[in-house]
Structure 1
Amino acid sequence: MKALLLMAALLAGSVMAAGIDVLESGPDGMTLSLETPAPVFGLTQLSGGFYATIAVEGAENLAQTGLPRLPVYRMWIEVPIGAEVRTSVTIARTGTFDVPGGSPVEPGLPSVPKSEPRGSCILEFDPSVYIEGQAWPCEWVRVVDAGMMRGRHLALVEVLPVRWNPSTRTVDVLSGAEIRLDFEGGDLARTFSEADRMAADGFERLLSSTVENYGTFESFDGTDSPMGAYLVIVHPDFYATAMSEFVTWKTRSGWPVTMVSTAETGGTAEQIEAYIINALQNWPEPPQYVLLVGDTGFIPGNTATAYSGVTDLYYVCLPDGGWMPDAFIGRFSVQNAGQAVLMAQRLVEYEQWGYSGSGAWLQSTGWIASNDNSGISEGTHNYCIDTYCTPLGYTADKLYPVTYGASAEDVVAAVNEGESMLTFSGHGSQTSWGDMAFGSSDFNQPDNEDMFPGVISHACLTGEYATGTCWAETWTRTPGRGGLWFWGSVPSTYWDEDDIQQRGEYDYFLGQDIFWSMGFLNGGKLALYAYYSGGGSVKYYFEGYNLMGDPSAEMWTWIPAGGIPMTMNVTHPSSISGSGPVTVTVAGALDDAIVCLWKGDEVYERGWTSGGSATFYVEPETTGTMLVTVRRHDWKPYLGTITVNGTGTGEGPGGPVPLSISCPNPMTSGGALTVTGSGAVSVEVFDLSGRIVARPFQGEMDGTMSVGIDTGGLASGVYFARVVSGDSSASARMTVIR
């Protein structure tokens, strides 16, 4: 492809930041500003013809087959459940430019499967634009309704600032404008309540990294949100003993685990799906992670709709008509209890750093490219390496057959030396990577015990877990070698879609610090959705790529200054005499360590540190041992104990009851605040400007009490309720709607 770049004349006006910015946002809508720099024209050759390319700083280009590939600014937003988004544009400045040479604008190319050369596609053209000469797009702004994800109604806003006029061979540029997005209709009360009910730390961090107006309908963020629960569904053959270590570790990590057998859920896909959907809809703490234990001979795959085959996606999609996941799902695709124990132990040892050696191997990443169309696969790898890995101090093993003559032997050697991540882009089959003939029959060669990478396989069929022992299963359930988890596709895949998804995965992983497996892997799917405006093969990809492994697996990431793993300095009481507050302090931490106290069915408290410490009020019913766990990213987990010497009111740590306050969200005409504390306290309500608008309680308290509040005199909006006692305070967000 040849490109001849021609710079257009500069638009009039001062130079401002390119793209769209949020001017204001609220429950009723958003106001955006648009600044579009001068377009850059080029020329490209496709199927023997010449077409104009148009680029704008900070913008992507549309990728819809047959429509002009014009610049687009995109933004994910959250809207009220059931609402529609009405758009209006107040134009500030426009400009008109001739298309150099009068060439037609390049069209969006059809998807090309990896079984064919990338350039083999037949061009398609929208007749209303390319034959009838209709100007396109008709509207400057469009909104794609993406449906529901984890109790949030998502939409993709696309601003198209360049309009092509085929009949005059010109483009109109919307160089400056104010854009209004009005949320019409919908159920605000349900929107607030569902956001709170479904809040879970992993999804909050993913959503807050993605959604521009995140926080409008949430009372939590990724540092103070509930942890969410963990649901493990196991075939009876593996239920009794195979998963006990895994369940214990995940419970200690802060997720209350429910493990059930398919004897309880039912063994068909429909019965398993119904059980999970009921948990998402009705459990007080809906699971945010779901793990299926057993291959399809024990736990069937669900049914895909975009291809003929299996998918696990629809096990975790609520019946709202969409296909965005409402929980993170993975599978231990095992055939016997021994394989289940192996996969569970591999994960626990990795996260606890139960290794004797250093973590130096985590600095290395491996990248395997294809033989044909190597410009695409190598180009994508190089982009991820240069953009995300090299700046963080990672090294890269470029296992490229074309550029460096890499072979399967080179891949084995690199894996045996240790790779933190191994990413493949090319051809595959159910049992192999095809570009260097590396398959199941060769898998006796790797020897990477205690150095297990996350494996991303952008290739056809390598995740086809309904057939025999697929390549994904070979990597994850073979003793002494393989990967921590494997991300692969059930059906055949496409060149461009694999490229876009991989870039998105690494953007969320190392660019946006989403460190757990299904967090950044789902981020790649969101990037794919945005790039193709929710159309094309997007649904096919959402269904097709499945995880063989733990969806909550937290990946170690390289830290040049400190190495991996670092060791925490944690202090807490060695013993307590009964009920009372327990403070756990993590030296050097701020709000980034998760602390969990666990004593059977008597005590289960967990939460994030605030200023380096976390305090919990515990009420053990018996003497014995209480487990203390502290996790902080890239630090070796702290595993300690507190001896419980007595029950009742303790004399150990002593001190006042920790302050806390919570409230129902949203509030309409009134409600009650739940306040915990001791001594003289004051409960206040203030608006976003800091003005106190109510003081519903002042006085003495000891323990927990309800404080009524009348919101009749308050306007709709966001407020904060605060309890103050001496130098201590606690607050909670409160939303009032009319």
Structure 2
Amino acid sequence: KPEIVCLKSDISGVEIQTDAFGFEWRNVKTDFMKNSTGEEFALLTIRDYAYTGEIGKPKLPMITGVIEVPHGADVKLTVVSGDYKEYTLKELGIDKRIVPAFASVPKVKGAVGEFVLDEKTYSSDAYYPDKLADVYIHEGTARGHRLATVEFFPVQYNPVKGTIRFYTSIKVKVEFIGGDPVKTEKEIERNYSPAWEQFIERMVLNYKPVKDVVPLPIYYDIYYRSGAEAVAQKIADWKTQKGFKVRMFNVDGWTASQINDTIRLQSPVATYVLLIGDPNSSTIDVPPSGTGASSSEQTDLYYAEIDESGYLPDLYIGRVSAMNAAEADTAITKAIRYEHADFGSAGYDWLKRACLIAGYDASYQSVGMATNAYCMDNCLIPNGYTVDTLVMASGEQETRVVQQINAGRAWLVYTAHGSQTSWAVGYSGDFNVNELRSQTTNQDMYCLPVGHCCLTGDYEYSSDCFGETWPKIGNRGGISYFGSVPSTYWDEDDWLQRREFDAIYTDSVPGRLYEVARFFQWGLYWIENNTNSSLKQYYFEAYHVFNDPSLDFWTDIPDTMIVTHNPVVVPGTQNFTVTVTDKNSSPLENALVCAWIPSEDPDIHEVDYTDASGQVVLTISPASAGETMYVTVTKHDFFPVFDTVLVVVPASYTIDPESVQVNTPTNVTVTVQDSTNNPYQNVEIHIFGYGVDLYDTTDATGQAILNVDAPYGEYLTVTGRDINETYFLFTDSIKVYGASDLTSWSITATCDTLNVTDKLVPNFPGVVSSTVNPTGYTLDLQGCGIDTSASTSGGTLDIGVVPTTTGNVTAAILKSGYNVATQEIPVERVKGLLSGFVYEAGSTTPVSGAEIKGYPHGADTSSTSPTFSVNSSADGSYSVSDSVYADYYDVYVKKFGYISLDTMILVKYGNNTKNLYLTPAPSGIVYGRVYDGGTGNGITATIRIYRTDNDSLYTTVYSDSLNNGDYSVTLPYFDYRFLVTAYHYQPITRVVSVGADSVNEDFKMTPTEGNLLVIDDYDG
């Protein structure tokens, strides 16, 4: 599989390189096609990528990468470099011409492809394609993101000479001409959704996270008719309890246009939208968004396309296509039970079983077989699934499919022909709606059926279509369905199915997708971004999710979470801490925790994810006792946890007296009674303030008497806690009266290290200064990791401090007989701007093109992204465009021909000028041998040496088997990427650092059959 990496990215553009290590080929027969001459051809493939698509011209592998382009910018692509080898087809064992690209074939019974060969291209003594790369911007935006695809053409073909050029490396530069970075950021922030951003991050090579955006809440909108209100409320309650912000819309009398406008004008726009109702229903009908411009059939796509800029969806949408409330309730109840892992007596083993079905077609069944084999071998089996594959025979009926369903399968995926009411599994034999309803017995084992076939999602058909039926069968059938309204096509369905499974099970790009609408939409976006299909818009319009679009699909047998928190809370604002671990007590990060009190008006609904320690702290404000707070914790592939917490006032109390005089010892009696008005014994009473810290415990009469002698005027806090519990029964206060006000006072704070005034900065030394009249006082500081005080007989006092967290430090001036004076000192991180020049050491000679990367001081650069990364200009100047947090940074400066610089700098608040100096590099000799790992014999190999700053080829040297496989090369001090290749050996890529007079680097190579895997079992 090739590699594609973004070498550089900033507001001016990107640099991207792809390295390809080989390709596969197979025979393609064309004798069954219309207008065919019967000639056999060869098809070259690169795994996980598509092909060039000009009909009749050679069909060649194409490597693609997606980039994000600023709003308003044009793009210009320049090929920087390309490294290739030229082969004759005969050298590769290929005795055929390269196959032409044909139009995709619809999955209509009897359809076969039309043979087209462009004679002009095939008779030209020239390489096709005549370019190495291209770029195009997609129509519209994806929730504010403007996407473009960079296409690489690593294989060029000369039909006359029968030769190919195989490019092992291609590097391009894409310039952004014009553009508005501020608008770009605002468009993304406007409807920011974490579930969408993860989707885009997985997709885009130059993804840049949006700064300072809160990752929650997740909005979920439901559109329904009055007849389905109870059903809508049921799914709304569950999604709210889970942690989503749910908005409900009764669409009685609404048109599609009114629904569309309501969806797109929400602020923010929802991440998920659920429609409840079949357009054909007489009671709960919800119309489609309209007729697809490409598919000419009904579609819900344009409800999901919110900015009206094209056809790319901006959210995830699903439909419960029910004729009445009872059917809708069945589908919704199954969805809720599924997410609860409530499978009755069915157990959980079936969640790791799958069935992949290749329906019969005389010409193209092998395509479906290859698709299923990919999903089985690369996705399901490596993840512990037991997989059954059915290859249906001509005329075969539903029996084997039904047996699979009834045995319990998590996946049921079909590819071939279909109709509005069936999978045509045997071409002339089918599995239809009536059989689905009457023959399935998979009690509580709801499979996820997927139909990559024609028509099964046609939800405006005169009777129930095959797709919408699955979730409406009570306690059996399917949990959802993903299928198409119009006809589908063999090539596009092949790509779609593979990428759906990749989205869930492979880590070829970061971030797996587990919600049904997300992984299905990933497949559709892949076709959009990575192919030359003419059916991109058609496919977005065609395919639909039937049921909850946010449904979290189980990919393993559920595991257990351990959740701990206080069992009760009291009225008033407070922090509520939830700790989540696995069954082995290891912290679980990113568990979604929701605390919900629906009886409040408005309801209390606090949601957050656990941190790396498995904890989350929610701020809650229950109004009164007697309410129930629902605590729900969910995480993918773990049983959800449902707890209830009572809001209680478990005791009544009196405090006598309610105030005391300053510097006057006074007995304060606290009397506590339980909820039955009996004395409450063993309640710890704590009275505290700046001058008081007293404890006592109530006796058998429920009383505690504490002698209070308060030196300062303030409010003393009084708390009561049952000695056997962690929560407080009550919190109150006592006023200390009779104290005088200070004549004058002031408190200021500075952090001189960072040039900061009026605040402190976490983890940096600061000073809190005070002045007081009259003289003689104590300065007390509490908060953000600070707990200190100092006293003076004079009128000024400074205390040095180092806060450890952000927040506020409470500074208090304490003087006996006087009221306490307090001030909150903010503790915040501040930012600075960094610029300067890069010079040659000992001079002011500018060094241009130096790469400057800054990391948090002490960070592991192998696993941490740089905080900033810039290059010096022609005059040696550099400037970090975005402000960065004031702090210490490890800065690494690289420029070919110079010794790399590693230095630490301090960025202060405001503007910072830091000049950097590079020393010209000496050279060192890299030497070693290339040898066979089995025999130890030297090998003749090609060693390509690339600079790591721009990945350009610096030089090529060779080892010689006649000379023990030895090689040597003189290189300036720098980091290089060595690519070692030899005939019949697996290539080796390694980074070699040259920082000494001599460096020894040997390469032990593993034999292989070659980079070309010949597969000769494809018959069309």
Q: TM bucket by the smaller chain?
A: 0.7 to 0.9
TM-aligned CA deviation for residue 626 of structure 1: 1.4
1:277 aligned residue: 264
Return the letter of the residue paired with 1:163. Q
Alignment counterpart, residue 19 of structure 2, candidates 24, 35, 38: 35
- Determine whether 1:474 maps to 2:506: no
Q: More deviation in 315-324 or 50-59?
A: 50-59
- Give the letter aligned to residue 332 of structure 1: V
Residue 517 of structure 1: CA displacement? 0.4
Report SS of the residue matched to 2:481: strand
Where does residue 455 of structure 1 map in the other structure? 449
Find 1:542's aligned residue among 511, 527, 540: 540
Matched residue type, 1:519: R
Instruction: Tell me which amino acid in the other structure corresponds to 2:516.
Output: S
Q: Which moved more, 1:629-638 or 1:122-131?
A: 122-131
Name the SS for the 1:295 alignment partner.
Answer: coil
Moved more, 626-635 or 17-26: 17-26
Instruction: Give runs of aligned pairs for residues 351-366 of structure 1, distance below 5 A.
Output: 351-357=339-345, 358-366=347-355
Partner of 1:489: 484
Residues in 2 aligned to 1:309 and 1:625: alpha-carbon distance in whole angstroms: 48
Which ranges of structure 1 fall in alignment gaps of 5 or more residues? Answer: 1-16, 559-563, 655-672, 684-694, 724-733
Q: Deviations over 1:354-402 (max 9, x none)?
A: 2332211212112222122321222221221121111112112323323
Aligned residue type for 1:371? Y
* 1:130–1:595 CA distance, 2 compared to 1 (3 A): same
Gap change, CA 1:704 and 1:518, over 3 Å in 2 = farther
Query: In the TM superposition, what whole-angstrom CA distance separates every residue of 1:114-133 from its partner, at most 9, and x where no partner exists?
Result: 12557x32223457634666
Larger radius of gyration: 2
Matching of residues 150-189 of structure 1 within 5 Å = 150-166=143-159, 169-189=162-182
Q: Contact 1:476/1:482 (CA < 8 Å) preserved in 2?
A: yes
Match of 2:52 among 51, 62, 66: 62
Report if the CA contact (8 A) 1:204-1:225 is conserved: no
Measured in 2, the distance between the counterparts of 1:414 and 1:36 equals 41
Structure with the higher helix share, 1 or 2? 1
Distance (Å, rounded) in 1 between the aligned partners of 2:621 and 2:57: 64
Query: Which residue of the partner structure matches residue 741 of structure 2?
Result: none
1:369 aligns with 2:358: yes
Report how many residues are paired. Answer: 664
Alpha-carbon distance between aligned partners in 2 of 1:59 and 1:472, rounded to the nearest angstrom: 29
| Post-superposition offset of 1:342 | 1.2
Fraction of identical pairs, as percent: 30
Equivalences for residues 179-328 of structure 1 within 5 A: 179-214=172-207, 216-219=208-211, 225-239=215-229, 241-263=230-252, 267-279=254-266, 283=267, 285-297=268-280, 298-302=285-289, 303-328=291-316
Structure 2 vs 1, CA of residues 189 and 111 (structure 1 numbering), >3 Å: closer, same or farther? same
Task: Identify which range, 80-89 or 700-709, moves more after superposition.
Answer: 700-709
Given residue 599 of structure 1, which amino acid in structure 2 is its aligned partner? I
1:340-489 aligned within 5 A: 340-357=328-345, 358-372=347-361, 373-402=364-393, 407-435=397-425, 436-442=429-435, 443-467=437-461, 468-489=463-484
Task: Check 1:492–1:705 CA distance in 2 against 1; reply closer, same or farther (3 A cut).
Answer: farther
Q: Which of 137, 141, 152 is the aligned partner of 1:148?
A: 141
Cα deviations by residue, 1:424-454 (Å, 9 ceiling, x for unpaired) = 1121111111124211222211122311111
What does residue range 554-593 of structure 1 map to in structure 2 within 5 Å? 554-558=552-556, 564-577=557-570, 578-587=572-581, 588-593=586-591
- The aligned residue for residue 499 of structure 1 is 494
Partner of 2:689: none
The alignment partner of 1:20 has SS state of: strand
Q: Which amino acid in structure 2 is aligned with residue 446 of structure 1?
A: T
Distance 1:466 1:704 in 2: 64
Aligned to 2:107: 114
Q: Secondary structure at the match of 1:485?
A: coil
Matched with 1:123 is: 115
3-state SS of paired residue (2:195): helix
Q: Pick from 596, 612, 620: which aligns with 2:622?
A: 620
> Could you say which residue in structure 2 is the equivalent of 1:595?
593
Structure-1-length-normalised TM-score? 0.82
Q: 1:712 to 1:682 in 2, by over 3 A?
A: farther
Query: Per-residue CA shift, 1:392-414, capped at 9, x if unaligned?
Result: 121123233239x9741222222
Alpha-carbon separation, structure 2, partners of 1:83 and 1:271:
33
Offset, 1:276: 0.8
Amino acid in structure 1 at the alignment position of 2:370: G
Alpha-carbon distance between aligned partners in 1 of 2:20 and 2:404, rounded to the nearest angstrom: 46
Residue identity matched to 1:625 = T
Q: Distance in 1 between matches of 2:47 and 2:360?
A: 33
TM-score (norm 2): 0.60
Q: Whole-Å Cα distance in 1 between the matches of residues 239 and 376 of structure 2?
A: 32
Contact 1:580 1:650 survives alignment (8 Å): no
Write out per-residue CA displacement over residues 201-237 of structure 1, whole angstroms, 9 at most, x where no aligned residue.
Answer: 32223222222222x143389xx83342000000121
1:667-697 per-residue CA deviation (whole Å, 9 max, x = no partner) reads xxxxxx9x99x954599xxxxxxxxxxx999
Gaps of 5+ in 2: 31-35, 651-716, 721-725, 729-758, 763-780, 787-804, 812-822, 836-878, 888-908, 912-1020
Change in 2 beyond 3 A, CA 1:334/1:720: farther
**How far 1:324 sits from its partner (Å)?**
1.5
Match of 1:518 in 2: 517
Preserved CA contact (<8 Å) 1:82 1:187: yes
Q: Structure 1 CA distance, aligned partners of 2:86 and 2:881?
A: 42
The 1:557/1:53 distance shift into structure 2, 3 A limit, reads: closer
**Contact 2:832 2:885 (C-alpha < 8 Å) held by counterparts:** no
**Residue 621 of structure 1: how far off its partner (Å):** 2.8
Structure 1 residues 568 and 421: alpha-carbon distance in aligned structure 2, compared to 1, 3 A threshold:
same
Contact 2:77 2:175 in 1 (8 A): yes
Q: 1:58 to 1:160 in 2, by over 3 A?
A: same
Q: Distance in 2 between matches of 1:41 and 1:87?
A: 30
RMSD, aligned α-carbons: 3.6
Choose the corresponding residue for 2:639, options 636, 640, 643.
636
Contact 1:374 1:402 in 2 (8 A): no
Equivalents in 2 of 1:31, 1:394: separation in Å? 40
CA distance in 1, matches of 2:314, 2:649: 42
Distance 1:185 1:378 in 2: 48
CA contact (8 A) 2:12 2:177 kept: yes
Can you list the C-alpha shifts for 1:283-331, whole angstroms capped at 9, x where unaligned? 1x32100000111131111221112210111111023432111110000
Contact 1:399 1:406 in 2 (8 A): no
Partner amino acid, structure 1, of 2:540: F
Q: Are the equivalent residues in 2 in contact too, given 1:351–1:553 (CA < 8 A)?
A: yes
Say if 2:143 and 2:191, in contact at 8 Å, map to a contact too: yes
Counterpart residue identity of residue 150, structure 1: R
Q: What's the offset of the Cα at 1:109?
A: 1.5
Q: Is this contact kept in 1: 2:829–2:886, CA < 8 A?
A: no
CA drift at 1:580: 1.6
Q: Partners in 2 of 1:524 and 1:72 — Cα distance?
A: 18
User: Is the Cα contact below 8 Å between 1:681 and 1:700 reproduced in 2?
Assistant: no
| Contact 1:602 1:620 (8 Å CA) reproduced | no
